Amino acid sequence: MSDPARQFLRHTVATVAYRGGKAIRNAPSAFADFKNCETTRTPLAILAHIGDLYDWALSIARGAEKWTTATPLSWEQECARFFATLKAFVDYLASAQPLKESPEKLFQGPVADSLTHVGQLTMLRRMSGAPIKGESYHKAEIVTGRIGPEQAAPRREFD
């Protein structure tokens, strides 16, 4: 693949997989339905929304933009869907298929939004009493194309 913007977008989604995977991995069973206050989304709803964002991103990339708000599945199913929707989008980016929208627009919409929501999940983990360790993501082994739940172990976590 010779398009550096497309390649950078693939790496950005690998970053979402790494950070998002850390935010959802080993979450306590009660985490899915945690609500900090009446007006916040639950982690389950946020995770479902991230899946919706990547379904939307793929539809935009293909030139047939369509938004669908999925009914959240179980936590386990939404965790699997998270990685599946990332993979479908990245597989399209890695293909020879033309992008019907610029990588910059795909980044500024669905991909950047997903990073915001991964941050929300991380913050809600802490608020729910099940924090994850912070880490130097600069040192993390994030690999373009590594999209599934099997991610490298953290290299430098903070206590």
| Residue-wise pLDDT tens digits, 19-61 | 999 999 999 999 999 999 999 999 999 999 999 999 999 999 9
pLDDT tens per residue, range 100-136: 999 999 999 999 999 999 999 999 999 999 999 999 9
The CA distance from 129 to 57, in Å, is: 33
Per the document, the length of the chain is: 159
Helix (H, G, I), strand (E, B) or coil at 127: helix
Give the pLDDT of residue 143: 97
Residues facing residue 157 across a β-bridge: 135
Give the pLDDT of residue 159: 79
The CA distance from 114 to 158, in Å, is: 24
Query: Is residue 1 very low, low, confident or very high in pLDDT (cuts 50, 70, 90)?
Result: low
Q: Is the pLDDT of residue 83 over 80?
A: yes
